[in-house]
Amino acid sequence: MCGRYTITDPVEAQAALAPVLDDRTPIPDLPPRFNVAPTQMVPIATNRETRVLELARWGLVPSWAKDLAIGAKMINARSESLGEKPAFRDAFARRRCLVPADGFFEWQRAGKRKQPFFIHEIGRRPFAFAGLWDRWKQPDGSWLISFSIVTCAPNALVADLHDRMPVVVAPVDWERWLAREPLPPEALSDILAAPDPAGWLAEPVGEYVNKATFDGPECVDSRPAQGSLF
C-alpha cells in the first residue's frame, strides 16, 4: 500500500507536470510536504476538459457515498481489480489523475518496532503516482474532489519492505493515463506495473514520520537501521 508520501519541492514537482497541464491554469502556491497523510488536501493533475492541477482530499469518496467516512478506506486502489470494484470502476474508465510526489514511505517490522524507510529516485527527482479521482456533493452543496493512489505488486527494492507499492507513471505515459475517453483495462495494463528498481533508493529514516501530524524535514533524514533488517 501507500500510506504516506512527500512533495518536498512543490515548485519542481508542479513544473515537471507542466507538459500535460493547460498553461493558462493557475498553479497552487504550496509549502513543502514531508509527510502527506490520508484525508489531507494535496495537489493532483486531473483529466477535465482542460488539464488542471487542483487540491483534492486523499481517500476517494465515490459520488454515491452517503458520507465522507468511506474515504478513509479508499486511499489505495489495487491495479489488478480497478475494472471490477464499484468504487473504482467508473473512475478507472473516465477519471484518472496524476499525483505529484518525490518519495514515499514504507515500514518493515524489526522485532517489536517498525523501521520506516524513505523510498525515492536517486537525486530526489519528482515523479507522479497513478491515481483515480471522483467528486462528491457535500451537505452544503459544494463538490469535494478526492482521489486514490493505484498500487501494484512491488519491485525488488520494495519487496523486502511490503507486498504492495504505488504505481509510478513514466512521463512518456502521462498523456495516455490522463486521456478523457474511456479505455478498456487492457489498454493501460502496461502502465500499471512497478518501476525498475535501478535508480531508486530505500533509506531508513527516523520515527518522526510515524506521527501523521508531524510534517518537518526530519521525516526524510537518513538514519541507520537499528539491528539487522534484511
Q: Catalytic residues, which ones?
A: 2, 106
Backbone φ and ψ for 180, nearest 5 degrees, come out as -85, -25
- Residue 38, C-beta contacts closer than 8 angstroms, at least 6 positions apart: 3, 58, 59, 71, 72, 75
Nearest to 129 by CA among 137, 121, 140, 141: 121
- One-letter amino acid for residue 99 of the chain: V
Q: With DSSP H G I counted as helix, E B as strand and the rest as coil, what are the percentages for the chain, rounded to 5?
A: 20, 35, 45
Grid cell in block for residue 151: 498500487
Q: How far apart are CA 67 and CA 121, in angstroms?
A: 37
**Which H/E stretch holds residue 200?**
strand 200-204
Q: How far apart are CA 61 and CA 148, in angstroms?
A: 9
